[in-house]
Amino acid sequence: MKRLLTAVLAIVFVLTLGVCAASTTPPVGVSCDYGQGKPMWQMPLDCQGR
């Protein structure tokens, strides 16, 4: 039972990290060039994160 709980928690943790990583990638057609030196509030809304 303890192994099952550990496995479920590990899967939930990995899925959570995957969702966070997916939300930080810009959609197609949006240029999120962070090297421009612009403040975050001047970047397109899709680049600012959620």
pLDDT for residue 44 = 74
Q: Is the pTM of this model over 0.85?
A: no
Q: How far apart are CA 38 and CA 47, in angstroms?
A: 12
Q: Tell me the mean pLDDT in the region 39-44.
A: 76
User: Tens of pLDDT along 13-28?
Assistant: 888 877 666 655 655 6
| Closest alpha carbon to 47 in 2, 1, 29 | 29
Residue 35 domain boundaries:
2-45
Structurally, how many domains does the chain consist of?
1
Q: Give the pLDDT mean for 25-49.
A: 72
- Pick the more confident residue, 26 or 9: 9
In a domain, 29, yes or no: yes
